[in-house]
Amino acid sequence: MGQRKEKRGGMGTVGWVLLGLLVVGVGTAVFLGNRWVGQSVDALLYPRRTQPSQAPADFSLTAEDVRIPVDEIELTAWFIPPTDAVNGATLIYVHGFGGNRAALLEQVAAMHEVGYGALVLDLRNHGESGDAVSTWGPAEARDVIAAYNYLLTRSEVDSDRIGLVGKSMGGAAAALAAAQLPDLAVLVLESTYSSFEENMPNILPSIARAPGFLAPYVFNRMNSVTVEPLDETLVADTVAGLNVPLLLIHGEQDRLVPTEQGRAIFAAANEPKQLYTVPGAGHLNIFTADPDTFTERMRTFLAEHLP
């Protein structure tokens, strides 16, 4: 009779090799994922600074350099007085993430042609303003409020005729600030997200070079290291509680903040409100895509609500 071979329990050599490879693969994925999340958090909290490449003089504007204190830092800004044509009406311009006060100078010049004054702001951690963590809205709202309070000290400005113009993150900051400014005259939001958390999958690939599926992990990590509760950056919900004339402008080809985000804000807003979607425009070029129509729409809105 032949001898019966006994079966050995457990895995053979190939099984152990495969298990080892699986463990190494999972460990590597976790390591790289954590590293990716950490790098994304840094990119979103600490933007690479850019300095203004243009000045008001390039647009034949006479401006005063001003410093505005807030939260133990100073903000830099240009103050451009209104002309007699608009009886002291002045707009605060707020740029987006990674930008600076020069970003909206073309709009400033277009509105100043018909008289509107301007306070053109470098947000915290941007341009030439002081160092601080960027929070995509909550802390920056305090910058906007500080700018508003500064204008109240200027004799050239009518305190009942101050408006806010905010782009992208600057729009979120402007909307959150508007909730604390009951005498605000008008609010203009450009390319603004309805919710920072909901829009994070869209911005991660562009700003942090990370895939959108990491958004929940990045958001939670950001929330754990900032003093500001980022989940309060709910622009649509905030706008729903405002009673200020609103002009909402959005590029129809915006991939960083899709048009649906702007429409959500508009749907939540109270009357009076206007929506202007710019055909062919993305996130950064809503003015240059069609400057004549943009200027006409904005001037018409201001003439009606900030006469």
CA–CA separation, 242 vs 118, rounded Å? 23
Per-residue pLDDT, 52 = 93
Higher-pLDDT residue of 5 and 14 is: 14
Per-residue pLDDT, 244 = 98
Torsion over CA: 231, 267, 265, 301 (sign): negative
CA–CA separation, 85 vs 158, rounded Å? 13
Higher-pLDDT residue of 224 and 97 is: 97
What string of DSSP letters covers 98-163?
A: T--GGGGHHHHHHHHTTT-EEEEEPPTTSTTSPP----SSHHHHHHHHHHHHHHTT-TTS-TTSEE
Q: What percent of the chain has pLDDT over 90?
A: 76
Query: CA separation (Å) from 298 to 40, 240, 269, 292?
Result: 36, 22, 18, 10
* pLDDT-based confidence at residue 30 (cuts at 50, 70, 90): very low
Which residues touch 182 (CB under 8 Å, ≥6 apart)? none
Own/partner long-range contacts of 7-15 (Cβ < 8 Å, ≥24 apart):
none
Which residues touch 300 (CB under 8 Å, ≥6 apart)? none
Least confident stretch, 21-25, 121-125, 263-267: 21-25
pLDDT by residue (tens digit) across 35-80? 678 888 899 999 889 999 999 999 999 999 999 999 999 999 999 9
- Residues 132, 125 contacting (CB under 8 angstroms): yes
User: Is the pLDDT confidence value at 241 over 60?
Assistant: yes
Least confident stretch, 8-17, 90-99, 219-228, 232-241: 8-17
CA–CA separation, 220 vs 114, rounded Å? 46
Q: Which of 7-16, 38-47, 116-125 has the highest mean pLDDT?
A: 116-125
Per-residue pLDDT, 101 = 97
Mean pLDDT of all residues in 209-234 = 84
Q: 48: which DSSP letter?
A: P
- Residues 190, 174 contacting (CB under 8 angstroms): no
pLDDT by residue (tens digit) across 173-220? 999 999 999 999 999 999 999 999 999 999 999 998 889 999 999 988
CA–CA separation, 244 vs 187, rounded Å? 7
